[in-house]
Structure 1
Amino acid sequence: MRIAMIGTGYVGLVSGTCFSEFGIDVVCVDKDAAKIEKLHQNIMPIYEPGLDDMVAANVEAGRLSFTTDLKEAVKDADAVFIAVGTPSRRGDGHADLSYVYAAAEEIADSMTGYTVVVTKSTVPVGTGDEVERIIRARRPDAQFDVVSNPEFLREGSAINDFMRPDRVVIGTESEKARKVMKQLYRVLYLIETPIAFTSRRTSELIKYAGNTFLATKITFINEIADLCEKVGADVHDVAKGIGLDGRIGKKFLHPGPGYGGSCFPKDTLALVKTARDYNAPLRIVETVVAVNEARKKQMAERVIAACGGSVKGKTISVLGLTFKPNTDDMRDSPSIDIVSALIEAGATVKAFDPEGMEEAKKLLPAAVEYCKDAYATMPGAHCAVIITEWNEFRALDLKKVKSLLAQPSIVDLRNVYVPEEMAELGFAYSSIGRP
């Protein structure tokens, strides 16, 4: 089989590469000629562990290629995946579908035989209907079906998520399209991966409902963490106690500075907008969005409090900038609100992140000073702040840290360290949801 993957962002590049690992011929398409040229040199546009090696192996095997020529890639493809960006639209928070619809138009002009057009991008309910309408309007004679096949990839473990997923969701009412999709996912059938066939609109909603539920769990435990601090309880014990209940589960019950990244912020906003459009408002989700936005801003206040109520003229060491470890993704990272607020309050910020500093430079204030490693951020700093729980921040030489800081103060927004041990070392230590 042969497929075309339109878009070489996170979803498109990982999905295309993994399909080629399944033995399928894949052509990845992007309008950005510079990105395609770098991919020809095996230079990845994103940081994802193991991706460069998998790309190189499949390119060498002749199963994976990259091009800017969409027409050539699509014309003989059995399936064409739309994996372009759907960022939040300014003003109303709805997903910007202009790239999806533009891709649909180009696909319509390029198809030569029966083609399954698959929306892999995260799109609101009804998008598949519009993609079908666009293609039919441009090519009344075309033989095609439009399928929804949402992705469930976690940055930092995306390859494993694709190769060994919890489930695959496929939305189609066409038996012909269903057979094509079964063939594409044949490898996963062999390992008995649950594959759910639904209607197209149901499939589109599953992705949003899943991400929104996880965002709700994160926000819930963050609010419980705030309560724990007030009553003298330990949020980790609370999370374990409720997570052992099989109806709740232990995942996504880790307190922190709020969720960020490429999915949860935009997907919660998009679902809220869709619900309002259909006059079925989701009050819980609306609250989750509002609480999470406020929380990210409140984290800077914790740092200011740890510095005696003011950071004016003081230096703050910031460890971790990306929204999670094992990625270079800075989209909606809590660090954006935290660092910006600290600088606005008069602080000098010295920061280090193992992979995210180049992306951070595009989003953080120009005043941020970027350092070569964690320790280089600390000389003369009045406080060290752990924002992202990269593994290297879990094993810092704490005696060295104490000797470098102007005052032994650490604000740990990921609860990496144990309060009692930090107290014994002489640190003024602040964490989330622990007495």
Structure 2
Amino acid sequence: MRKYFGTDGIRGRVGEGAITPEFILKLGWAAGKVFKDQGKKIVIGKDTRISGYMFESALEAGIVAAGVDVRLVGPMPTPAIAYLTRTFRASAGIVISASHNPHTDNGFKFFSPEGTKLSDEVEELIEYYLDQPLEVVESNLIGRAKRIDDAAGRYIEYCKGTLPIGLQLSGLKLVVDCADGATYHVAPRVFNELGADVIPLGISPDGLNINEHSGATKPELLQQRVLAEKADMGIALDGDGDRLILVDKLGRVRDGDDVLFIIATHLMKTGRFSGGVVGTLMSNFGLELAFSKEGIGFSRAAVGDRYVNEKLTQHGWSLGGEPSGHIVCRSITTTGDGIVAALQVLQAMVEEGKGLDELLVGLTKFPQKLKNIRVKKRFEPTDVPALQKAIAVANEKLNGLGRVLLRASGTEPLIRVMVEGRDSDVVDELIEYLVNEVEAAVGLEG
């Protein structure tokens, strides 16, 4: 078990645990020690939360103290750092972000020189150095920091280049919600420069409003605006731009499962698909059935885009993702990218001449309910006998026509409870039963 790293880097409440300037200074130094032999340059990006400035300085100081140079790109989406790490031939990339969490949290995501998430072994090596005394290199060996001014433009051109030459979005009206996060100065420009009529939302970050009232986890404002503007589609990104949730012209929210279905079936229709699709334990069973009917293979990974990537590598496949909106198109990029995934959906709409709702014909989801329970201390529900019994009772009630999943979040102090089945009434009954059992088994935060 790793001491600090979760399913997607290190994350927590600002000022508590590992999320302090003192710790992050040491984290930068430890990362510098690990990546020093692979090159002499680490790219640092961040989202728009106010604590990012504090942590950027601490991280930079630690890295240069280890004798490694720093390239600062400012507020940029997480997938942009994966791309820039590759193009700058850097030894690593680090994103200061707590993704979809509120501004009171922050975190640190790492990328390898290839733009992929780190392996467990590399994360464990960083943790090893975190427990060692910090030693500054000789003064003449201290790293240098440099700010990259054209990072946003580089990433915008990269995103636009993921569509075929000549494909335009002219005639499409899009509402683009940036969650007052890292995509605020990037996403609207991408879609606008490709010809779409763009109505932007969430593009006024003040350091405190990231993910507050908009974005992939709060699509209600986007739904209202799509209907009011009579838009063709709404695009919701999260605070660091690696998640995508869509809203169709009728105001209905479409999640990562819907996105996977559209991209995979379009690639199949155009003869550009091979292999299968990787989902997660949270992927709707209806998606699995739909892929089976289309002759598309489907495999489930543990929750987290790093595990989706691992499974894709294992199978040699190129498309995977999560219902939460992390979509990985490995033939195009190395990590979840909300803008790139949205462009793949738009390509399908343009090439097939169909709306978002029409592209989803053939996908019928099972009723599914998900509830999050905040806890004081992270634990695995399957280790609690009372909850093991509750899971068994729920599975017996479903009688083989559904699924139950209780798991600890890898990024927040939450227990996630999911029930899926053919009968929506049974699903509603069991989600309440399991939530009550979890609340009875643990002490909740006030």
TM range (shorter): under 0.3
TM-score (norm 1): 0.28
More strand, by proportion: 2
**Bigger CA radius of gyration:** 1
TM-score (norm 2): 0.27
